[in-house]
Amino acid sequence: MSDKAAAIIASGRASGGLDRQDLDEAAANAMDCMHAGGLLPSFVPPSDPYSGFRVGWSFDVGDGPDSTKADQFDKVGNACADTEYYPVETEYLAQPSAIEAHDTALEEQKSLAINCLRTTKYSQGEDATWQEVSTALTEDFFDRRERSCYTSLGISG
Res. 26 pLDDT band, cuts 50 70 90:
very high
- Please spell the DSSP secondary structure of 49-100, one letter per residue: TTS-PEEEEE---TTS--HHHHHHHHHHHHHHIIIIIHHHHHHHHTSHHHHH
pLDDT in tens, 59-114: 887 666 666 778 888 999 999 999 999 999 999 999 988 888 878 888 888 999 99
pLDDT of residue 101: 80
pLDDT in tens, 44-58: 988 777 788 999 999
Domain boundaries, the chain: 3-94, 101-152
pLDDT of residue 35: 95
Res. 36 pLDDT band, cuts 50 70 90:
very high
Compute the chain's Rg from CA coordinates: 20
Residues sharing a CB contact under 8 Å with residue 20, sequence separation 6 or more, in sequence order: 49
